[in-house]
Amino acid sequence: MGRLKLQSGIKAIEEEPEDCESANSPQFAIGCMINSEIGAVLAVMRRNVRWGGRYMSGDDQLEHSLIQSLKALRRQIFSWQHQWHSMNPTVYLQPFLDVIRSDETGAPITGVALSSVYKILTLDVLDLNTVNVEDAMHLVVDAVTSCRFEVTDPASEEVVLMKILQVLLACLKSKASVMLSNQHVCTIVNTCFRVVHQAGTKGELLQRIARHTMHELVRCIFSHLQDVDNTECSLVTRGSSIKQDVGGMDNNYSLGTKSLENGNGTSEYDGQPSSVSFSSNAAGGLVTAVMDENILASGNGKDAISYDMQLMTEPYGVPCMVEIFHFLCSLLNVVEHMGMGPRSNTIAFDEDVPLFALGLINSAIELGGPSIRRHPRLLSLVQDELFRNLMQFGLSMSPLILSMVCSVVLSLYHHLRSELKLQLEAFFSCVILRLAQGRYGASYQQQEVAMEALVDFCRQKAFMVEMYANLDCDITCSNVFEDLANLLSKSAFPVNCPLSAMHILALDGLIAVIQGMAERISNGSVSLEHGPVTLEEYTPFWMVKCDNYSDPDHWVPFVRRRKYIKRRLMIGADHFNRDPKKGLEFLQGTHLLPDKLDPQSVACFFRYTAGLDKNLVGDFLGNHDEFCVQVLHEFAGTFDFQDMNLDTALRLFLETFRLPGESQKIQRVLEAFSERYYEQSPQILANKDAALLLSYSLIMLNTDQHNVQVKKKMTEEDFIRNNRHINGGNDLPREFLSELYHAICKNEIRTTPEQGSGFPEMTPSRWIDLMHKSNKTAPFIVSDSRAHLDRDMFAIMSGPTIAAISVVFDHAELEDVYQTCIDGFLAVAKISACHHLEDVLDDLVVSLCKFTTLVTPSSGEEPVLAFGDNTKARMATVTVFTIANRYGDFIRAGWRNILDCILKLHKLGLLPARVASDAADDSEISSEPGHGKPLTNSLSSAHMAPMGTPRRSSGLMGRFSQLLSLDTEEPRLQPTEQQLAAHQRTLQTIQKCHIDSIFTESKFLQADSLLQLARALIWAAGRPQKGNSSPEDEDTAVFCLELLIAITLNNRDRIGLLWQGVYEHISNIVQSTVMPCALVEKAVFGLLRICQRLLPYKENLADELLRSLQLVLKLDARVADAYCEQITQEVSRLVKANATHIRSQMGWRTITSLLSITARHPEASEAGFDALLFIMSEGAYLMPANYVLCVDAARQFAESRVGQADRSVRALDLMAGSVACLARWAQEAKEAMGEAEAVKTCQDIGEMWLRLVQGLRKVCLDQREEVRNHALLSLQMCLTGVDGVHLPHGLWLQCFDLVIFTVLDDLLEIAQGHSQKDYRNMEGTLVLALKLLSKVFLQLLHELLQLTTFCKLWLGVLSRMEKYLKVKVRGKRSEKLQELVPELLKNTLLVMKTKGVLVQRTALGGDSLWELTWLHVNNIAPSLQSGVFPDQESMQSLPNQGETGESLVSNGNNSAPNEQ
């Protein structure tokens, strides 16, 4: 029969879906459905003898009322014409509900009736528009929760219980559920929990279903919380019986043990069918919870939060939720009597109930969420009772419970953290930090669960910021952020053990925190830089609050200041612990205490500063000194003992310092305590003396009970007797004293509190204190997504973090762990860069470079293959260069390590060819072919031979094939597939590094970083040594120099920053090199290229740049000779490109020196002359600053016998042509300047001209006839073609003395003293020289006459003519000269006569010129006097003769060119 019942139950369940589908059918279908349900119930009833017999026997007895009502409903059902919504649901529900309520029906009948009700509830018939729906819902709940039935067998009973759960859940899920009252919802939950409890002795399926239903109920109820208006207050005011203040609930639950009556609880199966009934408890009462064998009732009586009946009958809302939540919290109270210390780790009861309760609480919080804070009663439960229980269970030995507790706290953090500041601090300090460290006897599983929970918190982006802002920056709270960060970095460190899951877990947490910071940088507000905090003077700061905790502009500076103060206080505490007096003086010096100490500030220092030595504080407070007594009373005044038990208050007070040993000190301390306690919590005490005596009595009891040396312990009676008549002469209530006695016996008051920074355990007295503090603590700061405090936080954790990530990276063997570490490194780099923490970035770079294996390569295996096979090294290498490229601005010392890696790659031949290129156009760089060696500007030719060349293994493939050949004589082996793959991986890695962009993009680097990069390159290149460096060292030095030149060229706008270092480096190379080599070549041509490229842009540096080229002049002769041609080509190029940018004499001196040197170099002279030609042709780039220098250089080319004589002639033409420039400048000066300036300029121009003609004079003595003669003609041109230049008269005298006479004398000497072989055809040269003398003298006669020494000059001319007449060339006199001298002399005399220079004067002494002239002339040609001055017979003919003379002179002038 039991089996059949079960089948019918199953059948009913199976039918549900089909019937549910009829919900949308027309009215008739609903009628049919209800009809079929009536039929199903009746059918089952008929199978029972009791109902079936009575119905079938045809005697006169009436049918049972249950059957009658069902039949009556059946008769009506098809006759109803109205819509179902307008029908009163009670009519068609009542018959079924009667069956459910009846205790005469058996389990199968009740089960079918419940199925029918469930089916009706799941139709859309019952909703808010249905008539009288509220009563109907209440009827259903009342009937189902007081369901009675006879138990015949266990299976059918389970079916009924399951269906009860089904119907109750359907009630809460239906659309009409909002009509249920608070009372009914409580009853539903109560009933459901009782089924859960009963299911403990039943089948597994029922247990699971009951628990699931309970979860669903809680979810349904609390999801409704967000829709409930905050009407609790208005409801409460109606109820007269609710007197309690929301904040002051009494949450001490008495745990009594009762046995439930059989009819009210479990059924006993003793063969007799027993009746099971569920009767609802009193209003608002919730359930009895059963654990183990005991049945513990969470008090429903005086301790429960009671609402009046009127409130409980309102539509359900906050009141029922408070009841339910309170009940769920009370399920966790079962271990309260076991205390909260570490001893509670030995909780030895079934973890089932707490887990179940925690799961329900978590559901409630997940769905109630932030709405809880709108309802003070609910919030108060969460803040106090729930959190207190969570703290207890957090230390449970069961990892399952701990895990669940952590989930609940995470939910609470997410939704309600702003209301749970101190609770969260306590949870992390007393639970997570204690367990995760593995101390205090925590198992590995507990440790792991605690660490997992912590990592979950770390993954909440704002978590660490909020911990830091709210707790670390609060003087009265512990440094939770710092402790958690330290815990994570320590836990990630594998110390003498392999890497475990725990290490990786801690690393995940660390990296989550770091990545959170990195993400916040992207959200802006990093610019909100704060300067360092300083304290100028003391201001009371202990209880200061911020003006606005929601505006970062207010709270960020506020919390930074608080953190600064907190740090200084810690230092102060350290000083105090060593010497209290000096400690207080130190704090005064740092403005943390006033200059004149006041009791309140010292009391606050003792009360709120962590890390103080509690013995010293106790001694200070117990001191009889008046100031110390004042401090003691102020200290007591900082405690809040409101509504606190005396023993709790005393515990709190004595936790903050060590009670001194002397009785007088104890007396003073307890007096201060009693005064404060009586002031706040008088309760039943008559006066403060009563408080003092009782406190003393408690201390004595404590010593008596807990001191091992006391053998005879005080009894309760002794204690009560000792405290007679202390309350103002009266006795204190016996219960009061008894309670105190037991509290002290159970739990010692520790008069020697623990020292140090261990994580405290949460005691009941501490919890009460925490609840008091939480009312006064500063509001919780909710962080936005910007990086307000990240710099400060990162500064605290960066060192340990880099160390931890590095150690894990070092020990790791899995690629996903590598990747996690790399993500961490990149995040650290980003934060360091954005917050300008250069030291941190350098540390990171140093750390990473070690992992590239490039700095310290492994010995043995071939490096390229080893690198290709080493994933870790490749990842580290890519990361190093990613950081260098992204965050190079903030690298300082780290550049040296990065360069070490680059140099190693260079030595292995793994660098791309253009690493050292300078991002210039190729056309600018390419050197002209066919002129010696091409200049290498990139590594393409200097270091990276193409793949086919046999050069040292610098090309990648060359390197590879070389390393695979076993010996040079043996045939080369084909590389294996693994080797090829490794090689390929190496190539791809180097490609990803983008090493070249470090240098090509260096123009974007910040100045400091750029300077450090340049210094690192110079450092890496090493000091050049004379002649004994190895090829490898030289290769490195060349490469570094190339890179240095590349960054110099890329940073032409900042050349001033780099120039000094670059110049000194090149200078060292040039001056220490004695033989041609690649390094000096690179140095010299690099210098030339820098000058070439930078001159157009840096006029202010032009002199500096050009002066640097003097280094080329300092080259060792062998080196200079080797590179002379290329140097000259470069200088030539430099001049052609930048002639207009070279302005100073110094600059030109350097250029012309370099060009002059080439005049005598066979290969280089052509390019040198080409450059000079460019400057001097038509005076293109001549200027006063370079005139003399260029003329001098041209002279050197004219004198040089390297090359054809033709070039010397061209050089002379350049010199002669430059006179035009002098004339032009003189004209410009005349037009543009004032008279005085013009005179000065003319003097300067005269000097230049004199240097020009002196230069030509030297060339006139050249051995080569062609050059010599051309030089004389050029000199003549320069002497006669200076009409435009108004030369001072004195200059002409110098010119005759230094140039004209000297050249004539020198030529004469050469003609007489040297053989014809050396100087060919000197005769022609002498003729030209004499003509030059005559012509210049006559042309300048007018100017020369102005000279006082004209006579001397004229005699000099005559004496030269006389010498030339007598000269012997090749041993005999020259016919040409014999003819020319008299003719020229005659011509000269005639002109002088005509000009009136040569006249016989009658005055005394006036005939000296006349006489001296004829004295000399007669030595040359005696007949000339009569020829020029015939007898003075006819003075009339003189004018004609004058004309003749003039014509002679003119002829002479005109003929001179012809003779040339």
Please give the Cα distance from 12 to 34 (Å, whole number).
13
Q: Are 42 and 34 in contact (CB under 8 A)?
A: no
Please give the Cα distance from 401 to 335 (Å, whole number).
14
Q: Residue type for 988, please?
A: Q
Q: Are 1093 and 1076 in contact (CB under 8 A)?
A: no
Please give the Cα distance from 782 to 413 (Å, whole number).
11
1162 burial (CB, 10 Å; 0-12 / 13-18 / 19+) is exposed
Task: Look up residue 259 and give its DSSP letter.
Answer: -
Q: Residue type for 400, please?
A: L
Please give the Cα distance from 967 to 963 (Å, whole number).
10
Please give the Cα distance from 796 to 792 (Å, whole number).
7
Q: Are 157 and 151 in contact (CB under 8 A)?
A: yes
The SS3 of residue 276 is: strand
Look-up of token digits 């419940």 = 114
Please give the Cα distance from 270 to 1170 (Å, whole number).
128
The SS3 of residue 131 is: coil
Known active-site residue 662: yes
Bridge partners for 106 per DSSP: 150
Please give the Cα distance from 334 to 354 (Å, whole number).
9
The SS3 of residue 272 is: coil
**547 sits in which H/E element:** none
Please give the Cα distance from 1409 to 1414 (Å, whole number).
9
- Among 18, 21, 662, 924, the active-site one is 662
Per-residue three-class SS string for 1278-1320: HHHCCCCCCCCHHHHHHHHHHHHHHHHHHHHHHHHHCCCCCCC
Residue 1168's contacts (CB-CB under 8 Å, 6 or more residues apart) are: 1128, 1131, 1132, 1154, 1155, 1156, 1157, 1158, 1159, 1161, 1197
Q: Are 267 and 157 in contact (CB under 8 A)?
A: yes
DSSP per residue, 31-73 = HHHHHHHHHHHHHHHHHSHHHHHHHHS-SSPPPPHHHHHHHHH
Label the pairing between strands 295-298 and 1368-1369: unpaired
Nearest CA-CA partner of 1182 in 1133, 1221, 1126: 1221
Residue 713's contacts (CB-CB under 8 Å, 6 or more residues apart) are: 704, 705
Q: Are 213 and 345 in contact (CB under 8 A)?
A: no
Q: Are 1089 and 1049 in contact (CB under 8 A)?
A: yes
Please give the Cα distance from 939 to 945 (Å, whole number).
9
Q: Are 111 and 156 in contact (CB under 8 A)?
A: yes
Please give the Cα distance from 383 to 774 (Å, whole number).
9
The SS3 of residue 1373 is: strand
**128 sits in which H/E element:** none
Q: 537 to each of 138, 587, 757, 1276, how far by Cα in Å?
A: 70, 11, 30, 91
Q: Are 734 and 720 in contact (CB under 8 A)?
A: yes
Catalytic positions, please? 662
